[in-house]
């Protein structure tokens, strides 16, 4: 496992971000609010953020969990084609910071965990259609069996894909002290920035789990955006540190996806 020393000023920097004013717990122990002075988008927007895990074929060896987290390359291609045909333009979180005018139907495609098939299957499908995606990397699992190597991840960044942090070890952040949360969140972002020489502006909570304090820790580690597993469409009113997503599965073919999005965005 690769670890870097975290300077004391980063460890204490959370105290300098008083903008996050409130957060309350739900029955699942996660925060549902936490208003910040920053906004998700500076112009009125409705942006679906799709959540993928594996882009891989499903066979008899695929576990039950793997099945629920997998979209086959064929279904994935159909989803991308349907999005393109219906006028959606894939953007990255960084595009929201640039001040550039958004396309008329923006969408963000996210891929969690850094599995090997992100480079083998997701990347070629995206490039074929001149689309971009955001890939959340667990820094301590880079190069492990089933996960992308550093060279695989560099292939993503070299081709315009965005990298987000997803902790060092994918812990349940609700079970960690603030100090340990800060380590797992800050360390993963710092390592990715250093080794890939790219900005890391977005974070994904492992399994969507976080405590009321967690979003402010993400913000203090210089990530203005974080995605959850709450279901919904991100809008100008969304808390940028608790953004909703739409979980993708293999039974949602392209036409169905487009109809679902239209319904969600009404
Ligand atoms: Zn994950």
Q: Does 12 map to a domain?
A: no
User: 200 near 235, Cβ under 8 Å?
Assistant: no
Q: Does 62 map to a domain?
A: yes
> pLDDT value at position 37?
60
* 62 CA distance to ligand 1 middle (Å): 18
Q: What is the CATH number of the domain that holds 52?
A: 3.20.20.370
* 193 CA distance to ligand 1 middle (Å): 19
* 94 CA distance to ligand 1 middle (Å): 21
- Tokens in use for 165? 């942090």
Task: Give the total number of structural domains in the chain.
Answer: 1
**Burial class of 161 by CB neighbour count within 10 A (0 to 12, 13 to 18, 19+):** buried
> pLDDT value at position 61?
84
* 136 CA distance to ligand 1 middle (Å): 8
* 208 CA distance to ligand 1 middle (Å): 8
> pLDDT value at position 64?
85
Q: Does 15 map to a domain?
A: no
- Tokens in use for 145? 């069996």
Q: What is the mean pLDDT of residues 220-248?
A: 97
* 266 CA distance to ligand 1 middle (Å): 29
* 149 CA distance to ligand 1 middle (Å): 17
* 168 CA distance to ligand 1 middle (Å): 11
* 101 CA distance to ligand 1 middle (Å): 31
Give pLDDT tens digits for 172-199: 999 999 999 999 999 999 999 999 999 9
* 234 CA distance to ligand 1 middle (Å): 20
Q: Does 235 map to a domain?
A: yes
Q: What is the mean pLDDT of residues 126-152?
A: 98
* 250 CA distance to ligand 1 middle (Å): 18
Q: Does 2 map to a domain?
A: no
Radius of gyration over every alpha carbon of the chain, rounded to an integer in angstroms:
18
Q: Does 17 map to a domain?
A: no
Q: Does 14 map to a domain?
A: no
* 137 CA distance to ligand 1 middle (Å): 8
Collapse the DSSP code of 13 into the 3-class scheme (helix H, G, I; strand E, B; otherwise coil) and give the result.
helix
Report which of 186, 253, 168 is spatially closest to residue 222, judged by C-alpha positions: 186
Query: Model-level pTM?
Result: 0.86
Q: Does 209 map to a domain?
A: yes
How remote is the C-alpha of 101 from its chain's centroid?
A: 22
Give pLDDT tens digits for 1-57: 444 343 333 333 333 333 333 333 332 333 334 444 678 998 889 999 999 999 999
* 185 CA distance to ligand 1 middle (Å): 13
* 81 CA distance to ligand 1 middle (Å): 26
* 204 CA distance to ligand 1 middle (Å): 7
Report which of 123, 114, 65 is spatially closest to residue 90, judged by C-alpha positions: 123
Range of the domain at 132: 28-264
* 207 CA distance to ligand 1 middle (Å): 5
Alpha helices in the chain (DSSP H): 8-12, 64-69, 73-85, 93-97, 116-117, 123-128, 150-158, 178-196, 214-220, 254-264
């Amino acid at each position: 496992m690769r670890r870097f020393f975290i300077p004391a000023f980063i460890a204490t920097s959370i105290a300098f971000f008083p903008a996050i004013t409130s957060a309350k717990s739900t029955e699942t122990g996660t925060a549902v609010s936490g208003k910040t002075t920053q906004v998700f988008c500076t112009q009125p927007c409705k942006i679906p953020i799709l959540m993928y895990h594996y882009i891989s074929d499903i066979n008899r060896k695929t576990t039950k969990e793997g099945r629920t987290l997998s979209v086959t390359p064929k279904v994935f291609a159909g989803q991308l084609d349907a999005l393109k045909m219906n006028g959606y333009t894939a953007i990255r979180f960084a595009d929201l910071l640039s001040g550039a005018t958004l396309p008329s139907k923006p969408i963000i495609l996210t891929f969690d965990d850094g599995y090997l098939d992100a480079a083998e299957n997701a990347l070629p499908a995206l490039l074929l259609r001149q689309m971009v995606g955001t890939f959340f990397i667990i820094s301590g699992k880079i190069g492990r069996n089933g996960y992308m190597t550093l060279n695989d991840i560099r292939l993503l960044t070299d081709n315009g894909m965005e990298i987000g942090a997803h902790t060092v070890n994918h812990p349940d952040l609700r079970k960690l002290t603030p100090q340990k949360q800060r380590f797992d969140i800050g360390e993963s972002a710092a390592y990715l920035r250093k080794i890939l020489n790219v900005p890391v502006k977005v974070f994904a909570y492992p399994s969507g789990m976080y405590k009321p304090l967690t979003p402010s820790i993400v913000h203090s580690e210089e990530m203005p955006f974080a995605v959850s597993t709450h279901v919904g469409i991100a809008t100008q009113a969304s808390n940028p540190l608790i953004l909703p997503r739409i979980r993708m599965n293999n039974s949602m073919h392209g036409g169905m996806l487009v109809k679902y999005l239209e319904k969600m965005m009404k």
